Amino acid sequence: MTRLVVQHPTLSDAAVAAVEREVGKPPLRRTACMADWDAVALSGDQVDQLARSLEVDADIVSPTLRLTDFGLAAFDMDSTLITIECIDEIADYIGRKAEVAAITEAAMRGEIADYDESLRRRVALLEGLPQDTLEQVWNEKVQLSPGADELIGAMKRAGVRVLVVSGGFTFFTERIKQRLGLDLARSNVLEVSDGKLTGRLVGPIINAQGKRRVVEQTCAMLGITPAQAIVVGDGANDLAMMSIAGMSVAYHAKPIVHSQTHHAVNHGGLDAILNYFSDQTAGANTLA
pLDDT tens-digit readout, 62-74: 999 999 999 999 9
pLDDT of residue 153: 97
Instruction: For the chain, give the percent of residues with pLDDT over 90.
Output: 88
CATH architecture of 67-275: 3-Layer(aba) Sandwich (3.40)
**pLDDT (average), residues 85-104:** 93
Q: Are 270 and 147 in contact (CB under 8 A)?
A: yes
In the chain, list all ranges with CATH 3.30.70.
1-63
Confidence of residue 12 (pLDDT cuts 50, 70, 90): very high
In the chain, list all ranges with CATH 3.40.50.1000.
67-275
Residue 49 has pLDDT above 90, yes or no: yes
Q: Of the ranges 131-140, 223-232, 257-266, 279-288, which one carries the lowest mean pLDDT score?
A: 279-288
pLDDT of residue 286: 40
**pLDDT (average), residues 112-133:** 92
DSSP string, the chain: --EEEEE-TT--HHHHHHHHHHHTS--SEE-SSEEEEES----HHHHHHHHHHHTSEEEEE-TT--GGG-SEEEE-IIIIIBSS-HHHHHHHTTT-HHHHHHHHHHHHTT--S-HHHHHHHHHHTTTT-BTHHHHHHHHHT--BPTTHHHHHHHHHHTT-EEEEEEEEEHHHHHHHHHHHT-SEEEEEEEEEETTEEEEEEESS---HHHHHHHHHHHHHHHT--GGGEEEEE-SGGGHHHHTT-SEEEEES--HHHHTTSSEEESSS-GGGGGGGSHHHHTTPPPP-
Q: Of the ranges 23-32, 113-122, 202-211, 216-225, which one carries the lowest mean pLDDT score?
A: 113-122
Confidence of residue 113 (pLDDT cuts 50, 70, 90): confident
Q: Do β-strands 184-193 and 161-169 pair in parallel, antiparallel, or remain unpaired?
A: parallel
pLDDT of residue 233: 97
Confidence of residue 139 (pLDDT cuts 50, 70, 90): very high
pTM, two decimals, is 0.94
Residue 283 has pLDDT above 70, yes or no: no
Confidence of residue 189 (pLDDT cuts 50, 70, 90): very high
Find the angle CA(87)-CA(90)-CA(91) to the nearest 5 degrees. 90
pLDDT of residue 211: 98
Confidence of residue 44 (pLDDT cuts 50, 70, 90): confident
Please list the active-site residues.
Answer: 76, 78
Residue 282 has pLDDT above 90, yes or no: no
Length of the chain equals 288
Residue 287 has pLDDT above 50, yes or no: no
CATH architecture of 1-63: 2-Layer Sandwich (3.30)
